[in-house]
């Protein structure tokens, strides 16, 4: 093969994939523009809302038990398989319940982050 066989260089062109005037979300975030801030705030808010929602579930279940036990003798004294209800709830069942809440939170929090990543990458 001699040098003369090389075809002339051809420049492949096309329309630019992104409009040159818009900046990527990452650079908006890095430059801390208003738009970038809106993105970050939306992520922080969605994670905080999720955390507060799980806390609310905890307060409305576990958090009401002391009031329930203080006010209702039935709740204090009912027994299942010879063990009183408060001991079942606070000694055994509370632990799988906490793990369940934690697991729900982890799944949702990761979903929020995935949504944010896709939002940032797509633009």
Partner 1 sequence: MNGWALGAVLAVSVATLGIGAFGLRVSRTTSDFFVASRVVPPGLNASAIAGEYLSAASFLGVAGLVLLRGADMLWYPVGWTAGYLMLLLFVAAPLRRSGAYTVPDFAELRLESRTTRSVASCLVVLICVFYLVPQLQGAGLTLRTLTGAPEWLGGMVVAVVVLLNVLAGGMRSITLVQAFQYWLKLVLLLVPLAFLVQRWQHDGRPSSHLHVADWIEPMQGPHSVYLTYSLVLATFLGTMGLPHVVVRFYTNPDGPAARRTTLAVLCLLGVFYLLPVGYAALGRVYASDLIGSGRADSVVLTLPGRMFSGVGSDLLTACLGAGAFAAFLSTSSGLVVSMAGVLSQDLLARWTGMVAAFRVAAVVVVVVALGLALASSEQTLAHTVELAFAVAASTFCPLLVLGIWWRGLTAPGAVVGLVVGGLLSASAVVLELVDRAPGGGWGVVCSQPALVTVPAAFLAMTAGSLLTRSRLPEHVGRTMVRLHSPEELPVDRGSFRPRGATPRTARRS
Question: How far is residue 24 from each of residues 35, 43, 114, 120, measured CA to CA in Å?
Answer: 11, 17, 18, 8
Please, where are the H alpha helices in 1-123?
A: 25-30, 34-61, 65-71, 73-77, 85-88, 94-122
Q: Which of 35, 38, 61, 87 binds partner 1 (CB under 8 A)?
A: 87
Is 67 among the residues that bind partner 1 (CB under 8 A)?
Answer: yes
C-beta of 13 vs 92, nearer to partner 1: 92
Q: Which of 37, 80, 111, 123 binds partner 1 (CB under 8 A)?
A: 37
Q: Which of 9, 10, 22, 102 binds partner 1 (CB under 8 A)?
A: 102
Q: Minimal distance in Å, beta carbon 57 to partner 1?
A: 11
The total of other beta-carbon atoms located within 10 Å of residue 92's CB is 11
């Amino acid at each position: 093969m001699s040098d003369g066989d090389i075809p002339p260089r051809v420049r492949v062109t096309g329309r630019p994939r992104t409009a040159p005037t818009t900046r990527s979300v990452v650079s908006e975030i890095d430059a801390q523009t208003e738009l970038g801030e809106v993105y970050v705030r939306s992520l922080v808010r969605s994670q905080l809302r999720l955390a507060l929602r799980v806390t609310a579930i905890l307060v409305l279940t576990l958090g009401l038990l002391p009031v329930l036990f203080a006010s209702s003798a039935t709740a204090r004294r009912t027994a299942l398989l010879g063990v009183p209800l408060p001991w079942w709830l606070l000694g055994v069942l509370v632990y799988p319940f906490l793990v369940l809440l934690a697991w729900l939170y982890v799944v949702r929090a990761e979903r929020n982050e995935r949504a944010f990543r896709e939002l940032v990458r797509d633009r």
